[in-house]
Amino acid sequence: MDDLKPLIHLVDQDPDHLVYLFDFLSMEGFPVAASSSTSDALKYIERMRPRIVLCEWEMPGMSGLELIDEVTRISPQLQVILMAQEGGLIRLDEVHRRGGVDLLVKPCRPRAVLRAVERIMEGVKR
């Protein structure tokens, strides 16, 4: 894997999960930014152009799927991983159809997050 790690932007309304992922990815050497709302995330994404967005599916105001639509309009090369509670109604094929690359079950296991990020860095879609 490259020494230069991509900027990852986390979007989650659950502050504990947000901090958990932020701390884990930071300890793995990734530059990380975080937002607790999709509106703040879009402002950041437009300004900073991260390579990867890891977003909760069920967000107030705009769903993670809607965020994928907006993000791919802003920056088509940006890669989006959605997170959803187990038993949620979202499916991986819907994520792919909208332009996302992966779907993780919350709470996300650190190794699952790392594998999803590594797949993006290697250019592999799950």
pLDDT in tens, 45-85: 999 999 999 999 989 999 998 999 999 899 999 999 999 98
pLDDT score of 94 = 84
pLDDT, greater one: 29 or 98: 29
CATH number (3.20.170.30, 3.40.50.740, 3.30.70.100, 3.40.50.2300) of 8-122 reads 3.40.50.2300
Query: How far are the Cα atoms of 15, 30, 70 from residue 40, in angstroms, in the given order?
Result: 14, 21, 13
The residue extents of the domains of the chain are 8-122
Dist CA 18 CA 33 (whole Å):
10
pLDDT score of 18 = 96
pLDDT score of 1 = 45
Dist CA 103 CA 39 (whole Å):
21
